[in-house]
Copies of this chain bind each other. A is one copy, B any other.
Amino acid sequence: MSGAAAGPIRLLIVDDHPIVRDGLRGVFAGDPDFAVVAEAADGAEAVTRAEAVEVDVILMDLRMPGMGGVEAITRLRALGNPARVLVLTTFDSDRDVLPAIEAGATGYLLKDARRDELIRAVRAAHAGQSVLAPSVAGTLMGRVGAREPDSLSPRERDVLRLVAAGATNQAAARELMVSEATIKTHLIHLYNKLGVRDRAAAVAVAYERGILG
């Protein structure tokens, strides 16, 4: 426990929109339990700030120009930074939640959370508790229930990327420096994983699922 009477919870606000930063600062401005000690407008700045001043909880947006939130979390973890990261974003898409949690986020809230929800979440995150927005929790549950029906291998993603870019099997083979037979094998595997029968549908499913685009 980091001490109840050990001073306010020190916050770092990371969002590329000044207006959102204003709003967040406003939420905590009136409460003496919190102190916004720094702000950042992208992932790189977030890492710098978090290393420069002592921070307890980072409110982190995910989609930002330059370095995004997930990479920032990864770097902070690599640096051994002790700050808890509470992801606070507009999207609850599958493709956003999992990487953030895997990178080491303590919680995941949507920006449409009410103010008191946000405050409770920050307290919880500071205490090391995992906080998930209900809709996010639901998504995760659905995930583990379905046990990752997709999960293409790295090589399969390479092939799919090239196919989406219009490459023939031959061209993809040249690009990846393997034989055309290998490309075909990868394709058949990823067709089965995605539940499709041809490259066009595979590209479509990949976009729908966020594997591409």
Query: How far apart are the CA atoms of A165 and B26 in the complex, in Å?
Result: 45
Total contacting residues, chain A, CB less than 8 A: 36
Within 8 Å CB of A204, what residues of B? 164-166, 203, 207, 212-213
Instruction: Count the copies.
Output: 2
Is the pair A213, B208 in contact by a Cβ cutoff of 8 Å? yes
Q: Which of A4-12, A97-105, A111-119, A141-149 contacts B (4 or more CB under 8 A)?
A: A111-119
Is the pair B207, A213 in contact by a Cβ cutoff of 8 Å? yes
Kindly state whether residue A178 has any CB partner on chain B within 8 Å: no
Which chain B residue has the least Cβ–Cβ distance from A163? B200
Pick the residue among B19, B114, B165 that contacts A20 (CB under 8 A): B19
Is the pair A201, B90 in contact by a Cβ cutoff of 8 Å? no
Which chain B residue has the least Cβ–Cβ distance from A168? B198
Question: What 0/1 readout, one digit per residue, does chain A (192-213) give for beta carbons within 8 Å of chain B?
Answer: 0000111111111001100011
Query: How far apart are the CA atoms of A7 and B18 in the complex, in Å?
Result: 27
Q: In A1-56, which residues have CB < 8 Å from any B CB?
A: 16-24, 26-27
- 4 closest A-B pairs by CB: A166-B201, A23-B23, A22-B23, A19-B23
